[in-house]
Amino acid sequence: MDRFDRIFLLHKELVRARVPVKCAQLEEALECSRATVIRTIADMRDHLGAPIAYDRARNGYLYDVAEGRYELPGLWFNSEETFALLACHQLLRSLQPGLLDSEIDPLRQRLEKLLATRQGGKGQLARRVRIIGIARRMPAAESFAPASSALTLRRQLAFEYDGRASGARSARVVSPQRLVHYRDNWYLDAWDHAAEGLRTFAVERMRAPQVLAAKARDLGDAELDAELAAGYGIFSGAATAEAVLRFSPLRARWVADESWHPAQTSRWLDDGRFELTVPYSDPRELMMDILRHGADCEVVAPPALRAAVRDSLEAARRQYDALG
């Protein structure tokens, strides 16, 4: 426990106490020695102007305030809250240009100052905690800014879209519903007016987006979740099948702690393997997650998914055989 945590806990004990708090009680609460308690009290008196008095008759400490109550100056956080604050700070730094820039920048600057103060001005915590993005595709500001603006202004958005699967470009007019940050990349959930249905678009694949004057169509959260959250991963659509996967005892140590889908079920087998059942609609992303486990994952069902994974592994084997 560091000095800030002890000050925070000492303040907490003195604020809620109705009678003077004995030093032994403070030692237990702060998990430190009597000398450390006395030193912490002195620090609060000297540096924070805390009116801590010693009641000799009752052999305890209390806040000596005539009216109201004493509060620590500024914002104070314990260790757990500071790590949560740091995570927020790191995520704010990773946001792409265009998403609430005017609101985010002042908040980011305040968090940086607060973290520097909490870390004794040395910035140790920020240097020793990292959030690493893997396979991140950075959307350009000219794509991200109009998408976020249309979303917040509740206006329709027009753009040309380069579909990865089709390799073709198409014109779209959509009503933005949600911006989704998924696996370190940004997606836009939107109502596609031409297709008359919900679609998910990768923001970095949008070309020349324009915010239109027409009001966006609003859909309720329940409707969005039913269509977009039922499938597997980023692919929308109601689940149409369930994949039954069995992992080797070694790989099960990791997979058993992972969440693949909100509606997944699982069980341990007698031989130490781990069985995971997940619903899906489009198998493409599910196959990628299965294949990264190689021989440590067996697809038990359905037969079509088992065959697709087997064919993919066989194609990979033939490619390596060709290399000799």
pLDDT tens string 36-65: 999 999 988 888 888 999 999 999 999 987
Are 221 and 146 found together in one domain?
yes
Q: Kindly tell me if the per-residue pLDDT of 226 is higher than 80.
A: no
| Best CA proximity match to 77, nearest among 69, 85, 65, 89 | 85
Per the structure block, which two tokens stand in for 234? 């980023």
- For residue range 113-134, list pLDDT tens digits in order: 656 655 554 555 556 666 666 6
Q: CATH number, domain at 215?
A: 2.30.30
Distance CA 220, CA 235 (A): 19
Compute the average pLDDT of residues 239-267.
92
Of 259 and 307, the one with more pLDDT = 307
Same domain membership, residue 204 and residue 147: yes
Tell me the angle at which helices 34-48 and 23-30 cross, rounded to the nearest 10 degrees.
Answer: 90
Is residue 232 included in any domain, yes or no? no
Q: Are residues 40 and 9 in the same domain?
A: yes
**What stretches of 97-237 adopt beta strand conformation (E)?**
155-162, 169-182, 185-192, 197-202, 206-215
- Domain membership of residue 68 (yes or no) is no
Regarding whether 85 and 36 lie in a shared domain, the answer is no
For residue 169, give both structure tokens. Answer: 């470009």
Q: Is the pLDDT of residue 299 over 90?
A: yes
Instruction: State residue 263's pLDDT score.
Output: 87
For residues 198-205, average pLDDT = 90
Separation CA 301–CA 183 (nearest Å): 26
Confidence (pLDDT) at 24: 93
> What percentage of the chain reaches a pLDDT higher than 70?
75
Domain shared by 106 and 163, yes or no = no
Average pLDDT, the chain: 82
Domain with 152, as residue range(s), is 141-225
Same domain? For 12 and 41 the reply is yes
Given a cut of 60, is residue 321 above it in pLDDT? Answer: yes
Expressed in percent and rounded to 5, the helix, strand and coil fractions of the chain are 45, 25, 35
Quote the pLDDT of residue 70.
81
Give the amino acid at 222: A
Q: In this predicted structure, what is the pLDDT of residue 262?
A: 85
The stretch 89-104 carries a mean pLDDT of 56
Across the range 162-174, mean pLDDT stands at 88
Mark whether 124 and 154 lie in a shared domain: no
Looking at the structure, do residues 51 and 95 belong to the same domain, yes or no?
no
Helical (H) or strand (E) element with 275: strand 274-280
- Tell me the per-residue pLDDT of 151-162, one tens digit each, with 9 for 90 and over: 989 999 999 999
The amino acid at 21: V
Q: Provide the CATH number for the domain around residue 46.
A: 1.10.10.10
Alpha carbon distance 65, 49 (integer Å): 12
Residue 304, in any domain of the structure:
yes
Q: Which helix (DSSP H) or strand (DSSP E) does residue 127 occupy?
A: helix 124-128
User: Are 267 and 245 part of one and the same domain?
Assistant: yes
> CB–CB of 53/61 below 8 Å?
yes
Q: Enter the DSSP assignment of 237.
A: S
Positive or negative, the Cα torsion across 64, 70, 76, 79? positive
Considering the domain boundaries, does residue 21 fall inside one? yes
Q: Indicate yes or no: pTM above 0.85.
A: no
Is 237:225 a contact under the CB 8 Å cutoff? no
Helix, strand, or coil here: 122?
A: coil
CB under 8 Å to 240, separation ≥6 — which residues? 280, 281
| Assigned domain for 133 exists | no
Compare 191 and 263 and report the one with higher pLDDT.
191
Do 255 and 196 lie in one domain? The reply is no
In a domain, 69, yes or no: no
> Per the domain annotation, does 158 fall within a domain?
yes
Same-domain check for residues 219 and 248: no
Residue 131 or residue 223, greater confidence? 223
Beta-bridge partner residues of 297: 247
Residue 257 lies in a domain: yes
**Number of domains comprising the chain:** 4
Domain boundary among 16, 34, 63: 63
> What is the DSSP secondary structure assignment for residue 21, as one 8-state letter?
B
Percent of the chain whose pLDDT exceeds 90? 44
Question: Is 111 found in the same domain as 155?
Answer: no
